[in-house]
Homo-oligomer: A and B are copies of this chain.
Amino acid sequence: MSLVLGVDPGSRKTGFGVVDTSQRKPIYVTSGVIKLPVEASLATRLNVLFESLVTVISEYQPNEVAIEDIFMNKNAQSALKLGHARGAIMVAAGQCQLPVFEYEARKVKQLVAGSGNADKFSVAHMVQRQLNLPSAPKEDAADALAVALCHIHLSGGVAALSGAGKFARGRLRM
């Protein structure tokens, strides 16, 4: 089994999604959102993020991590906050000996939803279709699954990403 962990980093909540690439079609394994305690210090929030991600990795044992890159039109304050989260995520992946692949949000949307300007609803809808899910995943989880699908597509992990395939429903956690 070959699994890709997609991560959509955020300073308040980080989406994650695991997709199995060992079959002809990508198969949904799990997804969820790591919510950070808003009232805690920055260091505490980042350690919660790090530890939550290490827990996900320990449980599902993915082989690779795909992470969304930011829009470059963010302001400095937003970029700094997102940088903090991305730093914690990359350390979590690295400490678990997992290679990290980065994809620009625009590229992810283009590949998954057909347009670099696709809105979140469209991305979630296409993720639902491509993974043959009974309903659209939560916003951050959908973005995380989208970046995993983008990585699978670009790394040739599965034959194709469109159409209905074998479907294995995983647990929705966190």
Nearest Cβ distance between residue A158 and chain B, in whole angstroms? 24
Residues in A63-89 with C-beta less than 8 Å from chain B: 70, 72-89
The copy count of this chain in the complex is 2
Q: Is the interface of A mostly helix, strand, loop or mixed?
A: helix
Tell whether, in the assembled complex, residue B90 and residue A47 are in contact, meaning their CB atoms are under 8 Å apart: yes
Give Cα A23–Cα B121 distance, bound, in whole angstroms: 60
The verdict on A41 contacting B100 (CB below 8 Å), with A88-B91, A94-B46 known, is: yes
Which residues of B have CB within 8 Å of A79? 76-77, 79-80, 83
Between A and B, 24 residue pairs with Cβ closer than 8 Å are A41-B100, A42-B102, A43-B94, A44-B94, A46-B94, A47-B94, A47-B95, A50-B94, A50-B95, A70-B80, A72-B76, A75-B76, A76-B76, A76-B79, A80-B80, A83-B84, A83-B86, A84-B86, A87-B87, A87-B88, A88-B88, A88-B90, A91-B91, A91-B92
